[in-house]
Amino acid sequence: MTINRTTIGFRVVFIIKIITMYSKVKIFGHPVHPMLVAYPVAFYTATLVCYIAYNSNANLFWFKVAVVANIAGAAMAAVAAIPGFIDWLFIPSDARAKKTGLFHMVCNVLALVCYGVVALMECKKWGDANPKLGLAIPLTVVGFALTLIAGFLGWALVQKHHVGVDEVARN
């Protein structure tokens, strides 16, 4: 794209380089990663809320909902990570978005590890009459905080660095 500008009789030409960082994994032209990320966020939130509810009232229903939400969140995070990683691979290495994307990915992987560990610990207690939570709440709090940070970084990738935005369609 070239922009011409005249200043006090002198003609100055500015050349703007547009780096296309639109998504490589799409369905009908729409990026897949943003479609999937809402699921682990929702399941992670439900996991934390249900573990807190179980901890406060010892109703086994909340424990079982937490375990199911935890497993679903970890599974959907793994699914969402695949197109996210592919999109990250195609961000130019000299772009600032590459580093932001790396931090986004690390936060998400660490959150997945937290929720994965909790899922492995708690699913073994499915049949217990009065399961003890142990580290379930602290690990889900850490995982949830990491998910919030990753969400902010994902927002920055789209809004600040325009990753996933088709510049040609936008203009």
| pLDDT tens sequence across 48-91 | 999 999 999 999 999 999 999 999 999 999 999 999 999 999 99
Residue with tokens 């500015």: 14
Task: Give the per-residue pLDDT at 171.
Answer: 56
The pair phi, psi for residue 126, each rounded to 5°, is -50, -45
Q: Report the alpha-carbon distance of residue 137 to residue 128 in Å, rounded.
A: 18
Domain ranges of the chain: 22-170
pTM over the 0.85 mark: no
What pLDDT is recorded for position 169? 59
21: amino acid identity, one letter: M
> What percent of the chain shows pLDDT beyond 90?
73
DSSP output for 51-115: HHHHHHH--HHHHHHHHHHHHHHHHHHHHHHHHHHHHHHTS-TTSHHHHHHHHHHHHHHHHHHHH
What's the CA gap between 167 and 157, in Å, rounded? Answer: 14
114 pLDDT higher than 80:
yes
The mean pLDDT of 97-120, rounded to a whole number, is 97
pLDDT surpassing 50 at residue 106: yes
The per-residue pLDDT for 1 is: 44
Q: What is the pLDDT of residues 24-45, one digit of tens each?
A: 888 988 889 999 999 999 999 9
